[in-house]
Chain A
Amino acid sequence: MPELEYFLVAESISVDQETNRVSIFNVLEELQADSLPFVYPSLIAISSWNLAKDELGGDFQVMLRVNSPAQESPFDYPINLSRERRRRHRIYHRLIGPSFHAFGDLKFEVLLNGEHRASHIISLIQSDDKDPQG
């Protein structure tokens, strides 16, 4: 099975078209919100996969699973690796306009063919300057 090189959730990324190098900007660990629901403009989950020679061109599914304290069941976003014979595949899941309805830990998981491979937690916390009484 392909090996996971890294998995992160960040605010944005950039891929240099000439060198194919990826830059990751603002890795997200904590988000502060005054009130709920809290809408974030966009975030991106990046996973990088290394394939062995005998796996090149194989059929693999990478799934981003988002667990939120406000929802009992997670959101799943699958994407299949292209069948192109490449040793490394970078998968970007870009979420546009997510809104969060509860404070707590947002758990982003990445699964390969349905098996958990890694997770990244973002804590959504209430701003210190917010009066708890409202």
Chain B
Amino acid sequence: MSKELLSRLGSDDVHDSIVCYSSPAAIRRLLSRRREVIDLRAALQNGSLTDDELRRHVVELMHGFRPGQRFDGDVELAALAVAIERRSTDFAEEFFHDLASLKLRELSMSIGIARLILHARQDLAKNESRVIKLGEPAHQSKSFSQPNGRGRVYAMARNAKKFKWGAM
């Protein structure tokens, strides 16, 4: 079922429907109204389709990519991008960032749409977390980003000197 939903994104019907449009914005609007895209969104929402399946599908799709040759998967990637444009998962983040950073004529449609969506996703809240296991030393805490490099060292130094782990 999920395989079928995904393969429908690249059907001739979808190809034919966007052939007259050139701007990414117009194609995005059109794709967002397509039944194939709506059904895929619904499947993701109710859990019958997972991010892992999407990831596998994209990998399989890209096996057909040949530099310098027309790539039919471009439309499918564009449709997938529209289907997951509001999705807040690691896969979606990765997908949009990777696709938007490419410079390939063969993927011009999907890249254009990914860039458009990435810009629109500025309005989507970013979720960031730090997990602190209080029975363990602070340096075993997970998942926090520190572009200035200060956070972890600061936490370790401050906590290590003064406290018994887990006690408040």
Contact B87 A18 (CB under 8 A): yes
Q: How far is the CA of A106 from the CA of B167 in the complex (A)?
A: 12
**Minimum CB–CB distance for B126 against chain A, Å:** 4
Is A101 positioned at the interface, with any CB of B under 8 Å from its CB?
yes
CB contact list, B85-124 vs A, under 8 A = 86-89, 121-124
A48 in contact (CB, < 8 A): yes
B130 near A15: Cβ-Cβ < 8 Å: no
Given A82-B126, A90-B127, A93-B129, check contact A101 B168 (CB 8 Å): yes
Check A19 for interface membership: any CB of B closer than 8 A.
Answer: yes
Q: Is the CB of A97 within 8 A of B133?
A: yes
Give the contact-size bracket for chain B.
35 or more
Q: Interface code A32-73, partner B: CB below 8 Å = 1, 0 otherwise?
A: 000001000000000010000000100101000010101101
Contact B126 A61 (CB under 8 A): no
Q: In the bound complex, how far is the Cα of B163 from the Cα of A76, in angstroms?
A: 11
Residues of chain B having any CB pair with chain A under 8 Å: 41, 44-45, 86-89, 121-135, 141, 144-148, 150-151, 154-155, 158-159, 162-163, 166-168
Q: Which of B88, B151, B159, B166 contacts A20 (CB 8 A)?
A: B88
Neighbour of B128 across the interface among A78, A85, A91, CB < 8 A: A91
The 5 closest A-B pairs by CB, nearest first: A92-B129, A20-B88, A68-B168, A88-B125, A86-B126
Contact between chains at A77 and B155 (CB < 8 Å): yes
Residue of A nearest to B151 (CB): A78
Counted as pairs of residues, one from A and one from B, with CB atoms less than 8 Å apart, the total is 132
CB-CB nearest in chain B for A100:
B168
Interfacial residues, chain A to chain B (CB-CB below 8 A): 15-20, 22, 37, 48, 56, 59, 61, 66, 68, 70-71, 73, 75-101, 106
Contact of A94 among B86, B88, B132 (CB under 8 A): B132
CB neighbours (8 Å) of A66 from chain B are 168
> Nearest residue in A to B125 (C-beta to C-beta)?
A88
Question: Judging by beta carbons under 8 Å apart, are B124 and A20 in contact?
Answer: yes
Interface pairs (5), CB distance under 8 Å? A77-B141, A79-B130, A91-B130, A94-B131, A106-B168
- With contacts A73-B162, A101-B168 known, is A85 near B124, CB below 8 A? no
Q: Complex formed: what's the CA distance from A61 to B128 in Å?
A: 12
- Smallest beta-carbon distance A118→chain B, Å: 18
A22, A78, A92 — most chain B CB neighbours (10 Å): A78
Q: Which residue of A lies closest to B44 (CB)?
A: A18
Q: In the docked arrangement, what's the CA distance between A82 and B134, Å?
A: 24
How many angstroms from the CA of A20 to the CA of B135 in the assembled complex? Answer: 31
